[in-house]
């Protein structure tokens, strides 16, 4: 049996990996659901719990992104300070021959 959310949408299986944007959109949907005055308390609590899990996962993703940006920015600073025209090797992209 397919379970539907309060808004009538079917839930994806737990094994499906969602993108950052999809999870952020779902968090926004949950916030909208909770704000409705006609939502049963039990549904509001379930939506809140799902929202907390999503928010924590998104926060971890943002921390990873910030770390990557810091690496890129520090690499750019090293390149600007270097006397040669060589670019710092961060190992993030394949080199073209």
Residue 33 in contact with residue 55, Cβ under 8 Å? no
Q: Residue range 93-97: average pLDDT?
A: 54
Which one-letter DSSP state was computed for residue 86?
P
Encoded tokens for 35? 């704000």
pLDDT at 5 over 80: no
The pLDDT of residue 9 is: 46
CA separation for the pair 54, 71 (Å, rounded): 26
What tokens appear for 23 in the block?
Answer: 């999870």
The residue ranges of every structural domain in the chain are: 20-78
- Residue predicted with more confidence, 10 or 86: 86
Using the predicted structure, report yes or no on whether residue 14 has a pLDDT greater than 60: no
Question: For residue 76, what pLDDT is reported?
Answer: 73
Eight-state DSSP code of residue 84: S
Angle at 25 between CA 56 and CA 3, to 5 degrees: 90
pLDDT band at 18 (very low <50, low <70, confident <90, very high): confident
Query: Chain centroid to CA 56: how far?
Result: 9
pLDDT tens digits along 42-77: 999 999 999 999 999 999 999 999 999 988 888 877
What's the longest Cα–Cα distance across the chain? 66
Q: Beta-carbon neighbour count of residue 39 at 10 Å?
A: 16
Q: Which residue has the higher pLDDT, 78 or 72?
A: 72
């Amino acid at each position: 049996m397919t379970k539907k959310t309060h808004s009538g949408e079917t839930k994806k299986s737990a094994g499906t990996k969602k993108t950052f944007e999809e999870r952020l959109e779902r968090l926004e949907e949950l916030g909208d659901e909770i704000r409705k005055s006609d939502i049963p308390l039990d549904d509001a609590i379930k939506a809140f719990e799902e929202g907390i899990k999503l928010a924590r996962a998104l926060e971890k993703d943002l921390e990873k992104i910030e770390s990557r940006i810091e690496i890129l920015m520090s690499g750019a600073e090293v390149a600007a300070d270097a006397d040669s025209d060589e670019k710092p090797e961060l190992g993030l992209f394949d080199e073209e021959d």
